Amino acid sequence: PGSNTLTFGMLGCDFHCGYCFTGDTRVVTSKGVLPLQEVFALGERVQRTPDAEISFPVALKAIAASGTWREVRGVFKHHYAGKLMVIRPFYLPALRCTPEHRVYATLDPNGKHIEPITACALTPAHYLLTPKKISHYQSEGQLSLRGRCVPEAIFSNAMKLQYVEEDCFAKGARNDNESTALSEATALNLEQYDLVPLREISTEEFDGDVYNMEVDEEHNYLANFFLVKNCQNWLTSQTLRDPHAGIEPQLVTAEQMVTLGKRYGAKLVGSSYNEPLITSEWGVEVFKVAKQNGLRCVYISNGNTTPEVLEYIRPYVDGYKIDLKTMNDKNYRKLGGVLQNVLDSIKRVYEMGFWHEIVTLIVPGFNDSTEELMDAAQYIRSVSPDIPWHVTAYHQDYNMTDHDNTTAQTLIRAAEIGLEAGLHFVYAGNLPGRVGPYENTYCPKCNSPLIERYGYHISQDKLSGRGVCPKCGEEIPGIWK
């Protein structure tokens, strides 16, 4: 539990990702604190596709999490129509982004469990992050910045005056000549970051252009001074197609991939996007070396299998995750799949002895009825009650914006249905801190808590290395060593 995994696969980018901001969002660059639409206009070359544009600024850098200047590889623009998240923090202007964009945040006032969270999953209890090197700048209005470690580009920019004129200071932000400190009641100071609380989170309809950047090395930047994730699928997908992607393709051996994984503490190697079935030869070449180095190997699959491929990979693959998207064949065919094929794969994978887990993305109005969720749970139960079932939350993106976002209450209801159907291990995922006990693992015999989680963070683990309940001695299915 909680182990890092080195994942590889076939990636692509259609420039329709939902990780974007409105054009008026300001980013900290080496040429000033500029709106994204102005950063896009700095490009000396623009690549146009049927659905998007990519601008290539020259010698432009952005401030990343470390406070270091990192090269901007490209700036992306495409049309978006749908809901925007409007995140209103203390001290700073509202951040407007697509629901799927990931923002670094935490619920912990001590600064633990910092992770990129989708904007639609943020709550007023979250804190956003501002790197220490610039955090005091935006709280001081027109006051002196003496003694602050502020990048030169910000020093020379007129953002101080703008924030005052736009009345972006919240009640509680100190802005007088007696003190320049952030209010202790609302902002929390850590060694590397300041944690800024949220005043309000809302949604609004939007129809226009949205933007994102690809920032080298750290893959994050500051949007309205808050730390956010950037787009990087474009860089990956265009390396073989466009020399302006900025990097040349590099040959890598299975040995080098495994060495990289071990360097970063990975205990598993996984084959994933788009579907690992079609790259099984690649996978086995890597898995052979991974197994020799003591790593476990996994498949992250949409459930399209053949007996021949499973036999081919079985000596090397320990774990196998399958997406069960719906129990309605008509809906499955709309997504390009066939329900019976997936159901057969679930049974086949289990019978062949893989450690097996199932994930269902719960989409309101598509697969969230009590009857359908019960059908899914009962089918999994018919294969084995020990197969973990993960129910996760949907949020609007790209071509699927005609359904509401999944609520925590819906995930809890789905998890309860799974337990009612007789499954032993049911988890409600990707809404950390909002689904009660359904992030944790419990003994199916005595109900004693065995693994306690918050998102991907494990706060208590009584199973690893032993695999039995310490209270009643029940053997818990899984791979614990």
Listed residue (184, 89, 177, 193) closest to 141, CA to CA = 177
96 & 221 share domain: yes
283 & 213 share domain: no
Query: Beta strands 188-189 and 193-215: pairing type?
Result: antiparallel
261 & 119 share domain: no
- pLDDT confidence of 345, banded at 50, 70, 90? very high
364 domain residue, yes or no: yes
Q: pLDDT, tens digit, for every residue of 249-292?
A: 567 899 999 999 999 899 999 999 778 998 899 899 999 999 99
Query: What is the crossing angle of helices 370-383 and 408-420, to 10°?
Result: 40
Domain of 342, CATH number, reads 3.20.20.70
196 & 259 share domain: no
pLDDT the model gives residue 356: 97
Residue 247 pLDDT > 80, yes or no? no
Amino acid at 478: G
226 & 259 share domain: no
475 domain residue, yes or no: no
Domain of 206, CATH number, reads 2.170.16.10
226 & 252 share domain: no
151 domain residue, yes or no: no
Listed residue (359, 395, 363) closest to 101, CA to CA = 395
Q: pLDDT, tens digit, for every residue of 352-386?
A: 999 999 999 999 999 999 999 999 999 999 999 99
Sequential DSSP letters for 424-478: S-EEEESSTTSSGGGGSEE-TTT--EEEEEETTEEEEES-TTT-B-TTT-PBPPS
pTM: 0.62
263 & 342 share domain: yes
- pLDDT confidence of 134, banded at 50, 70, 90? low
273 & 196 share domain: no
Strand order in the sheet with 457-461: 441-442, 449-454, 457-461
Tokens of 478: 């899984």
pLDDT the model gives residue 138: 40
Residue 135 pLDDT > 50, yes or no? no
311 & 196 share domain: no
163 domain residue, yes or no: no
Q: Would the CA dihedral through 270, 344, 314, 3 be positive or negative?
A: positive
The arithmetic mean of pLDDT across residues 336-361, rounded, is 96
How far is it, in rounded angstroms, from Cα 327 to Cα 111? 41
160 domain residue, yes or no: no
The tally of domains found in the chain comes to 2
How far is it, in rounded angstroms, from Cα 281 to Cα 242? 27
Query: What is the crossing angle of helices 370-383 and 339-351, to 10°?
Result: 30
Q: Across the chain, what does the average pLDDT equal?
A: 83
**Domain that residue 213 falls in:** 21-136+188-230
207 & 262 share domain: no
Q: pLDDT, tens digit, for every residue of 289-323?
A: 999 999 999 999 999 999 999 999 999 999 999 99
174 domain residue, yes or no: no
420 & 313 share domain: yes
328 & 373 share domain: yes
C-alpha distance from residue 380 to each of 320, 347, 360, 387 (Å): 14, 9, 11, 7
